[in-house]
């Protein structure tokens, strides 16, 4: 948790531990594969490995193709 809070501070984002736990729980409810592992008194979090469902993949592709920040050429080649 200290690492997460420190990383957020690098981007000038202040947060508290309870808020981060709540966010992690909410993200897990939306099926993001976040795994928490406890080693002694410390909890470590990492992203698991799962395949995107077709609907999720389509949404990501649509977001890239419709993004005004990415050029048409770049969105088609990457």
User: pLDDT tens string for the chain (78 positions)?
Assistant: 888 888 888 888 788 888 888 888 877 777 777 888 888 888 888 778 777 778 877 876 777 666 565 556 665 665
Q: Are residues 54 and 25 part of one domain?
A: no
Q: pLDDT value at position 75?
A: 55
Q: Are residues 33 and 60 part of one domain?
A: no
Strand partners, 75: none
Q: pLDDT value at position 4?
A: 83
Tell me how many domains the chain contains. Answer: 2
Q: Are residues 23 and 5 part of one domain?
A: yes
Q: Are residues 2 and 27 part of one domain?
A: yes
Range of the domain at 73: 50-78
- Separation between Cα atoms, residue 54 and residue 14, nearest integer Å: 35
Q: Are residues 33 and 2 part of one domain?
A: yes
Q: pLDDT value at position 42?
A: 85
Q: pLDDT value at position 67?
A: 59
């Amino acid at each position: 948790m200290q690492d997460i809070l420190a990383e957020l501070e690098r981007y000038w984002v202040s947060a508290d531990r309870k808020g981060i736990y709540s966010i992690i729980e909410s993200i897990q409810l939306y099926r993001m594969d976040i795994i928490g592992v406890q080693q002694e008194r410390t909890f470590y979090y990492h992203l698991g490995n799962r395949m995107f469902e077709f609907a999720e993949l389509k949404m990501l592709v649509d977001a890239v193709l419709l993004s005004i920040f990415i050029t048409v050429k770049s969105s088609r080649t990457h």
